Amino acid sequence: MRRADRLFQIVQHLRGGRLTTACALAEKLEVSERTIYRDIADLIGSGVPVEGEAGVGYIMREGFDLPPLMFTRDEIVALVAGARLIRAWGGAAMAAAAEEALVKIGAVLPEDARARAAAVQVHAFQMPELDDRARHLLDRIERAVEARVRLSLDYADEAGARTERVVRPLGLWFWGKVWTLVGWCELRDDFRMFRVDRIADMTEGARFREERGKTLAGFYAQHYEAERPA
């Protein structure tokens, strides 16, 4: 969890006006009590009205609220619609984060903007093809992209032929009903795209370093160069 998100969560937990110990906050946020003490000190230093002390607990005076986020009508539509799409079609962790984002948006918007967010009539429903296995696979791939970890794939092509690939994952693309993994295939020594629903099995391997020509930027350059009219 990013520090900014953790500070937001601390404020949310203290908002109820009940005495909360650092131990309880640390358990909920999965960090050390020392981290909570440091975060509380930073919140107090920035003007958040938190009262209490170590070993006793903390409480926030009533009436404090986070500054409202100033979004335009179109920005609110985009944020709400995007979060709903990911909640329906993203990985399991992505979907949970999208749900939490919608809650946060509703919590910090002023009343008129909150009403606009609630009135957004853009909805998405989970595809039958996107089961729990596919959702968790998307989360694993997303984490591997961020950590730059090689993936060993047991992959089936369109004809059903199975192949083993070692891939440097670079990103995920969503095509409306299908997710694809964009990566550098070490077998083919070139960029390849793999449909996530055709990955029969996947294991994480060793980390890799970014190399010139084997990056997502390199993939985009190759992809758009191939599509450019002669």
pLDDT at 149 (0 to 100): 96
User: In this structure, is residue 113 part of a structural domain?
Assistant: yes
Does the pTM surpass 0.85? The reply is no
Q: Are residues 140 and 54 in the same domain?
A: no
**Which of 9-13, 59-63, 138-142, 202-206 has the least mean pLDDT?**
59-63
58 strand-pairing partners:
20, 52
- pLDDT tens digits, one per residue of 73-115: 777 778 888 888 888 888 888 888 888 887 777 776 767 777 7
**151 in Cβ contact with 204 (< 8 Å):** yes
Owner of token pair 């203290």: 14
pLDDT at 128 (0 to 100): 66
The share of the chain scoring above pLDDT 70, in percent, equals 84
Distance separating alpha carbons of residues 73 and 162, to the nearest angstrom: 49
In the chain, how many domains are there?
3
User: In this structure, is residue 68 part of a structural domain?
Assistant: no
pLDDT at 221 (0 to 100): 83
Q: Are residues 194 and 139 in the same domain?
A: yes
Residue 59 pLDDT class (50, 70, 90 cuts): confident
User: In this structure, is residue 202 part of a structural domain?
Assistant: yes
Token pair, residue 123, equals 């909805």
Owning domain of residue 114 = 73-118
